[in-house]
Amino acid sequence: MAKSKLIIIIVASLLVAGIAGVVLMKTVFNHTCPPEQMVISNMTPKVDEEVTFSFDNASVTSWSWDFGDGNKGDKSPVTHAYTKPGKYKVVLRINGSADCDKTEEIEVKPLILEEETNLIMPVIEGPQEVSANQPVTFKETSGKGNSWSWGFGETLKSDDSKEQNPTYTFKYPGTHKVTVFINGDNKAVAEWKVDVIPGAKSATSASTTQPTSTSTAATNTTTSKGSDAATTTDTKGSKTPSNTPSAAATTTAPAKTTQPTDDKVTPMSNDELIGMFKQLTGKNGNTDAIEKYVRGNLAMDVSVNGKIKSLNSYLRAISITGECKIKSVKQTNDKSKGYLTKLEITE
């Protein structure tokens, strides 16, 4: 009898142990973490450079990324760009379980590396407000330049002038970004923003400082300092007084000069605008049509995948790489003139 009870106790113990083992194995199995590590496309990116993060495993159904700078992600692969240099701890939580968190550290470099100590930064001096169609001079005053490459924001060129202190005439009103780099080193570029106002103000300013002469095929109108009336001289040489005061004569005539910004343009369809961008990828691509469509304001901000860039830098990137990745655009146009005032691009 005692022997039978002992056998029963042993069998019962084995059953309990077996059940506990199954439960334990199931628990361990369900919480086994995937052995793979997250994959980061670049461990030392520069500021604003997109980085791709991914984690591939068939058992994973959800991803929760923490990029260490306050931004999150919820898919794989996912891209992210850091806006400030520094070291960031990247944490990935899979299937909602903290037990299987994956961690990596990424170091974001500044746009100009600290070790590039031989870089020489140019210095720009110039006006902050000018009139269209009025020559204006900019100076590079670092004293360390042997050659200069200037861009004035109305074209894609970074070599609009090779002079140290160039004189330039802006065609289009708006905010323009003037840039210069020296000694052929485009890693260190100085920038200067200048507001260009319509040319009519330029004519008014000129009339107060110097004599102004405006000619046509039939007549020549000249106003001199100290004179309250303009004199009209026809092609035969006879002179007749004009009843128009000198200020009116000097202001009105130049204002009649056709301003490209006053021309009305026909708003393009989104497909037409995308096609215009794609033309820049060819050898003969130019920005003339785009310049007219934005009143020459190539320094205007555009949204590219939600990030703000200057139109000038975006066009330049297309021209240099020969690639246009635009999938769709959303444009806002001036109601009376038709030109483009706002642009959102999705790549």
**Same domain (yes/no): 89, 132:** no
Q: Is 134 inside any structural domain? A: yes
Residues 43 and 84 in one domain: yes
**How much is the mean pLDDT over the chain?**
74
251 and 271 share one domain: no
* Euclidean distance between CA atoms 205 and 33, whole angstroms: 75
Whether residue 116 lies inside any domain: the answer is: no
> Are 273 and 252 part of one and the same domain?
no
What pLDDT is recorded for position 156?
63
In 5-128 the beta strands, taken as DSSP E runs, fall at 39-40, 50-54, 63-66, 72-73, 78-81, 86-94, 97-108, 124-125
Q: For residue 260, what are its two tokens?
A: 């490209």
Residues 86, 43 within the same domain: yes
Lowest mean pLDDT among 55-64, 68-77, 244-253: 244-253
Q: Which position has the higher pLDDT, 286 or 311?
A: 311
Residue 99, pLDDT > 80, answer: yes
- Does 285 have pLDDT greater than 70? no
pLDDT of 57 higher than 90: no
Comparing 10-24, 40-54, 83-97, which segment has the lowest mean pLDDT? 10-24
**Torsional class of 302: left (φ above 0), alpha (ψ -120 to 50), beta (otherwise):** beta
- 221 in any annotated domain: no
pLDDT over 80 (residue 189) = yes
> Both 69 and 102 in a single domain?
yes
Q: For the segment 205-236, what is each residue's pLDDT rounded down to a tens digit? A: 333 333 333 333 333 333 333 333 333 333 33
Residue that wins the pLDDT comparison between 79 and 242: 79
Q: Is the pLDDT of residue 267 over 80?
A: yes
Q: Determine, yes or no, domain membership for 278.
A: yes
CATH assignment at residue 180: 2.60.40.10
Across 110-137, average pLDDT? 80
% of the chain at pLDDT higher than 70: 70
Q: Is the predicted pLDDT of residue 133 greater than 60, yes or no?
A: yes
Specify the DSSP class assigned to residue 82. -
In a shared domain, residues 242 and 317: no
Instruction: Provide mean pLDDT across the span 69-77.
Output: 92
The predicted pLDDT at position 154 comes to 78
243 in any annotated domain: yes
Which band of pLDDT confidence, cut at 50, 70 and 90, is reported for residue 91? very high
Total number of domains in the chain: 4
Q: Quick check: is 83 in a domain?
A: yes
Q: Which residue would you say has higher pLDDT here, 320 or 316?
A: 316
Higher pLDDT, 176 or 155: 176
Q: Is the pLDDT of residue 20 over 80?
A: no
Residue 210 lies in a domain: no
pLDDT band with cut points at 50, 70 and 90 for residue 260: very low
Say if residue 333 is in the same domain as residue 271.
yes
> Average of pLDDT values for 124-131?
92
pLDDT for 29 beyond 50: no
Q: Give the end of a domain, one of 155, 182, 198.
A: 198
Q: Give bridge partners of residue 192 from the DSSP assignment.
A: 178
Report the run of H or E that residue 58 belongs to, with start and end: none
Q: How confident is the model at residue 13 (pLDDT cuts 50, 70, 90)?
A: confident
Q: In which band, very low, low, confident or very high, does the pLDDT at 108 lie, cut at 50, 70 and 90?
A: very high
Instruction: Specify if 12 maps to a domain.
Output: no
Enumerate the β-bridge partners of residue 232. 221, 240
Q: Which two tokens stand for residue 131?
A: 């009139």
Q: Does one domain contain both 246 and 277?
A: no
* Domain membership of residue 313 as a residue range: 262-346
Average pLDDT over residues 177-188: 85
**What pLDDT score was predicted for residue 164?**
94
Residues whose CB is less than 8 angstroms from the CB of residue 84 and which lie 6 or more positions away in sequence, other chains included: 47, 69, 108
Q: Which domain-ending residue is among 206, 238, 258?
A: 258
Does the structure show a pLDDT above 70 at 177? yes
Question: What pLDDT does 58 receive?
Answer: 85
Residues 241 and 276 grouped into a single domain = no
The predicted structure's pLDDT at residue 93:
93
Say yes or no: 103 and 133 in one domain: no
Is there a contact between 123 and 148 (Cβ–Cβ < 8 Å)? no
Residues 99 and 157 in one domain: no
Which residue blocks in 195-310 are alpha helix, DSSP H? Answer: 199-207, 246-255, 270-278, 288-293
